Structure 1
Amino acid sequence: MGDERARPWDQDEMLRLMDVRPAGPGRYTAPAHGPAGRNVVEAGQLAADAVVAAAKEIPEQRVTSAAMVFSRAARHDEEITVELDVPHRGRTYSTVQARAVQRGRLRATGLILMGADAADLVASTAPMPGVPGPDALRPFDPPEMTVGGREIRVVDDAYDWDPAHVGPPELFAWIRFAAPPPAGYLHAALMTQSTTHWTIAAALRPHAGYSEAMAHKTISTGISAVTVAYHSDVDVTQWLLYANRVVYTGRGATQSEGRVYGEDGRLVASYTVQGMIRPLDRTSPVSGTTL
């Protein structure tokens, strides 16, 4: 994100990229960001594009879950097309198939479940982890992750570039944005974009000699798949806790389970992420570019 010719990375730019525009029946386009230090679109951004497209395609229902597989890297300097099929449109639930395409090639594909809300028959929630609140933590703002209008605070400073620092395979991060987006699905999009940030760093934490600083330099990392379930309406101007725990790492892959809580303990969303961690093959033109 460091190229000086690029648009600044701020909340308005993220919303511009994710607020996809209608471009014909079942088609939406996400604009190009422009030049960037690393010309690879984040997986969470592609998932958010699909969520917004589905919300616009079936506006009378809300997104209840989204599952995306990231097959090939997309570029920041060209627009992305989101193609939708709706194999089932019902009063209670609707099914949307989404494909993110760039240069005529598939970049990501997914399945989105839309639903009509109902009153609670019964209700329960997994308890919020007992971690320090955001006011007790220092701001986390490395140049590689700086987005104007977004605040991040990481519990125990666990997102660490020092390969000598080790810890359990988990990350807890608080995030909030400065300004409210103009639509509920854009709140959901900003929340979704952040779900893919934590798995690789958490998976590397227990292993001395490895850290996130090595990604795309000496090790090949990226996000292969994400599934998000949307439980409650979200307000991204309020602090949200991303509680991310890695449950498996091996065979060149890692798997995490995550939950998003409001500061009041309300469970907003839950998610799973599969990532890739492999030796960097510098002979491969796509090594380290799947995000």
Structure 2
Amino acid sequence: MTEQVRSAWPDYPDYRIDITPCPYTGQVWAGDVLVAESDSCLLLTETDHVDRLYFPESSVNWELFTPSPHQTTCPFKGVATYWHLTGASAPVDDVAWSYRTPLDEVAPIAGYVSFAAPAIRVMVVEKWPDGSVVPATFPLWGDADELIRLIDVAPASEHSYIGPAHGPTQRDVVEGGQLLAEAIVAVSKTVPEQRVTSASMIFTKAASFTAPVDVDVELLRRGKTFSTAHVRISQHDTLRSIGLVLTDSGAPDVIRDVEQMPDVPGPDHAVPFAGFGMPGRQIRIVDGAYDPDPDRVAPPRIDAWIRFRSAPAQRYLQSALLAQSTTHWTIAAGMLPHRGFGEARAHRDLSTGIMKVDIAFHDEADVTDWLLYSNRAFWSGNGLVQGEGRVFTRDGSLAASYVVQAMVRGFSRDPAALGLDSRTAM
């Protein structure tokens, strides 16, 4: 007999559960076994909960599951029935659930099943116009178009800009690369007749995705050839990032010499990377070197091929998109030579974060074509990792170079004692 659920909706009218069709193909994997796949998934977002992907019951390989006696009751959704995963190499209890008779407010999820990540791997697959099939780990951070919206800071007053809020997300820490990109865009709009050629940013305190940031540009000198700008990024009246940006009006070559692109396998022979949860951007890692497994040991180098599905017309936004990806790799590269260390420990029992980045732009690049980010961590110690990188076009032009300083150290206090977890701890 189905348990009668007392609905909490009348008591909490501001509580939100939104159910929308997922625009991508959903997949569930247990190791190398495909457990479920559907083009008709539902995305459920709920107040103070992680996003969930719901699959039609008909899309599940039920031969891999057995019913569980376990049930839970949600005052906003109803009674959930569970299943154990028993037909895969690594059985998992109570890994799937369904609201067979959901409350009226969430009626669309009747006949749908959701799965508990990361005990089982939930992904979406995006199909690009050129036929590419691009995976992304669920829950998603957002689409690449959302990243463009965030970095395209809007004028608030003369030389002051606002970077919009993204909203709640699984990890509520804005990556340094995004703040770097916002600084590049703000200065580009302040000095539109010149091109940003370099930027140096220090990240003083983590920013949150749930509130806008204020980007203030002070022109230290505006010249006909070069201009220098000082950028401050703050949130809730607290400094989050500060730096200097150089712009240039441009000039023809007098001399030219370019470092050669490293001889690494091209994108067609690299390993697809589904991390970061961002459809609209495709990443392939040479030799699969970006690996969170603490037991993997390799040289401190990561070569990543990246391209975007589409790009804005403004060149400064393309430069900002290129810059945003530079801060992804240094920490992982620095951990690779050390057994027992890996990205899986970041923000859990290791305090990690990007502290400073310097980037210089060279030849122009199209971010919708493959770009090689060649990253090397050349020093680690004293709780820091130092790395450098180059961005090459597929034909070998050097688009940008950068240097990153990052933090890798133990927590001075247990994050839980400070009310933090892996979503908010550095």
Which stretches in structure 2 are left out of the alignment for 5+ residues? 1-48, 53-138
Please list, as runs of the form range in 1=range in 2, the aligned pairs for 1:242-253 lying within 5 A after superposition: 242-253=373-384
Provide the residue aligned with 1:182 in structure 2.
Answer: 313
**Could you tell me which amino acid in structure 1 is paired with residue 219 of structure 2?**
V
Distance 1:245 1:120, change over 3 A: same
2-side partners of 1:270 and 1:3: how far apart? 36
Please list, as runs of the form range in 1=range in 2, the aligned pairs for 1:166-205 lying within 5 A after superposition: 166-205=297-336
1-side partners of 2:346 and 2:141: how far apart? 23
One of 27, 32, 42 as aligned partner of 2:165: 32
Q: Does residue 1:151 correspond to 2:198, yes or no? A: no
1-side partners of 2:50 and 2:171: how far apart? 8
Q: TM-score, normalised by structure 2?
A: 0.65
**Could you tell me which amino acid in structure 2 is paired with residue 127 of structure 1?**
Q
Provide the residue aligned with 1:44 in structure 2.
Answer: 177
Provide the residue aligned with 1:20 in structure 2.
Answer: 153
TM-aligned CA deviation for residue 290 of structure 1: 8.3
Provide the residue aligned with 2:240 in structure 1.
Answer: 107
Which stretches in structure 1 are left out of the alignment for 5+ residues? none
Which secondary structure state, in structure 2, belongs to the residue aligned with residue 23 of structure 1?
strand
Q: Higher strand proportion, which one? A: 2
Alignment: residue pair count: 288
Q: Does residue 1:221 correspond to 2:352, yes or no? A: yes
Which secondary structure state, in structure 2, belongs to the residue aligned with residue 159 of structure 1?
coil
TM-aligned CA deviation for residue 120 of structure 1: 0.1
Provide the residue aligned with 1:93 in structure 2.
Answer: 226
TM-aligned CA deviation for residue 178 of structure 1: 0.4
TM-aligned CA deviation for residue 3 of structure 1: 3.6
2-side partners of 1:101 and 1:74: how far apart? 8
1-side partners of 2:205 and 2:262: how far apart? 35
**Could you tell me which amino acid in structure 1 is paired with residue 182 of structure 2?**
D
**Could you tell me which amino acid in structure 2 is paired with residue 21 of structure 1?**
A
Which secondary structure state, in structure 2, belongs to the residue aligned with residue 114 of structure 1?
strand
Which secondary structure state, in structure 2, belongs to the residue aligned with residue 22 of structure 1?
strand
Is the CA contact 1:10–1:147 (under 8 Å) kept in the aligned structure 2? yes
Provide the residue aligned with 2:207 in structure 1.
Answer: 74
2-side partners of 1:184 and 1:87: how far apart? 24
Distance 1:276 1:180, change over 3 A: same
One of 128, 131, 137 as aligned partner of 2:261: 128
Provide the residue aligned with 2:15 in structure 1.
Answer: none
One of 372, 384, 401 as aligned partner of 1:270: 401
Is the CA contact 1:247–1:257 (under 8 Å) kept in the aligned structure 2? yes
Is the CA contact 2:140–2:278 (under 8 Å) kept in the aligned structure 1? no
User: For residues 92-123 of structure 1, what are the alpha-carbon distances to aligned partners after superposition, in whole Å with 9 as ceiling and x for unaligned?
Assistant: 10000000000001000010000011000010
Percent identity between the aligned chains?
49
Which secondary structure state, in structure 2, belongs to the residue aligned with residue 255 of structure 1?
strand
Distance 1:72 1:8, change over 3 A: closer
Distance 1:290 1:127, change over 3 A: farther
Is the CA contact 1:163–1:208 (under 8 Å) kept in the aligned structure 2? yes
Is the CA contact 1:88–1:95 (under 8 Å) kept in the aligned structure 2? yes
TM-aligned CA deviation for residue 139 of structure 1: 1.2
Distance 1:205 1:41, change over 3 A: same
Answer with 1 or 2: which has the greater Rg: 2
Distance 1:17 1:78, change over 3 A: same
2-side partners of 1:216 and 1:8: how far apart? 17
**Could you tell me which amino acid in structure 1 is paired with residue 51 of structure 2?**
E
Greater alpha carbon shift after TM alignment, 168-177 vs 4-13: 4-13
**Could you tell me which amino acid in structure 2 is paired with residue 4 of structure 1?**
D
User: For residues 209-251 of structure 1, what are the alpha-carbon distances to aligned partners after superposition, in whole Å with 9 as ceiling and x for unaligned?
Assistant: 1101100001000000000000011210000000001111000
Distance 1:13 1:101, change over 3 A: same
Distance 1:24 1:272, change over 3 A: same
Q: Does residue 1:209 correspond to 2:340, yes or no? A: yes
TM-aligned CA deviation for residue 188 of structure 1: 0.6
Q: TM-score, normalised by structure 1?
A: 0.95
Which secondary structure state, in structure 2, belongs to the residue aligned with residue 9 of structure 1?
coil
Which secondary structure state, in structure 1, belongs to the residue aligned with residue 218 of structure 2?
strand
Please list, as runs of the form range in 1=range in 2, the aligned pairs for 1:225-240 lying within 5 A after superposition: 225-240=356-371
Which secondary structure state, in structure 2, belongs to the residue aligned with residue 139 of structure 1?
strand
Provide the residue aligned with 1:84 in structure 2.
Answer: 217
2-side partners of 1:87 and 1:68: how far apart? 16
